[in-house]
Amino acid sequence: MLNKILSYISEDVAIDLGTANSLVYVKGRGIVITEPSVVAVNQKTGQILAIGEEAKKMVGRTPGHIVATRPLVSGVVSDFEVTEQMLRYFLDKVHKRKFFINPRPRVIVGVPCGVTEVEKKAVCDAAKNAGAREVFLIEEPMAAAIGARLPVQEAGGNFVVDIGGGTTEVAVISLGGIVLAKSLRVAGDKLNEDIIQFAQEEYKLLIGERTAEAIKIGIGSAFPQKDKKQWPMRGRNLVTGLPEEILVSDEDIRRALEKSVKLIVTEVKTAIEETPPELLADIMASGIQMSGGGSLLRGLDALIKKETKIPTKIIEDPMTAMVRGAGMVLENLDQLHEVLVETEYLEPPR
């Protein structure tokens, strides 16, 4: 009876708790929040000053005692208390203007493949402390596959490459389960680091993370492009200590990203080598599906296709595929409960 009342007054949510960005899907309403996974904390008082977009604006621009931090590293909780505050902020934002009592929604959270029981429990505890009534977990490639409307419950192979901010997840899915999974801690954030390192080594120029990300989005590529592009790289010269601007080409940035891109392609090829032959036959027909913000790196799909000899395509709206899939599970918990992660301390959906 209490469960029915709580279901009526609270809105169940699915959350893509990403290293770089978090998205929130509300049952019956769709995606309502897309914000960076950044929290600004006053270290003197321990007070949280800003979360999401407001906190991201502070990155690299704060006095010493204010730190803009990411509470998730490689898709898992690294700062429990700050993650809890961030989740509470999202749940409050969903339910503001609605009720005068404390809502207790059911929550589905995406986690990387291969996370430990301790890491799963940290996510569950953070969500429950933030106000969730029940917490369910779903592996990110599975959610992305459902978001792309792949036939995950059928007896056929589905190959998904999900490249987020902190991790690259490679998974083969069949009959509602993950047959094979690989998790690599090389993704969007590592590509930003590569550009920062390249600027230092090649030009003795110190640039920030936001500048590196802008360059990656602007002219970054994994495969030679027809249109040659250039981008201004602004930072501080490490020799003179003065500000400097250098024009870099897409070829320079491709060279900077080459090592990390090669690691991602190698991980995909390793997963293909380990895939059972019957499922591989299905995948050769249906192709490799790419999701996550990292999949938008120009030419990455073409490079994977060239290296694997398998058709490769980017899922429509790849940045929201994971949360859309988790949302579809939320809307159809009875039919899709088998795709959720089974853990000893989580209750089955009621």
* Mean pLDDT along residues 12-41: 87
Q: Is the pLDDT of residue 159 over 90?
A: yes
Mean pLDDT for 27-33 is 86
Query: If one looks up domain 2-143+321-339 in CATH, what number appears?
Result: 3.30.420.40
The yes or no reply on domain 188-257 and CATH 3.30.110.30 is no
Q: Is residue 22 over pLDDT 70?
A: yes
Q: pLDDT for 226-249, tens place per residue? A: 888 999 999 999 999 999 999 999
Does pLDDT of 344 surpass 70? no
Is there a common fold for 2-143+321-339 and 155-186+260-314? yes
pLDDT > 70? residue 349: no
CB 327 within 8 A of CB 106: no
- 245-279 pLDDT, tens digit each: 999 999 999 999 999 999 999 999 999 999 999 99
Rounded to 5 degrees, what angle do the CA atoms 120, 42, 46 make?
60
Give pLDDT tens digits for 162-188: 998 888 999 999 988 899 999 898 999
Does 98 have pLDDT greater than 70? no
> pLDDT > 90: what percent of the chain?
46
Superfamily of domain 155-186+260-314: ATPase, nucleotide binding domain (3.30.420.40)
Mean pLDDT of 298-303: 94
Domain coordinates in residue numbering, the chain: 2-143+321-339, 155-186+260-314, 188-257
Calculate Rg over the CA atoms of the chain. Answer: 21
Contact 3, 350 (CB under 8 A): yes
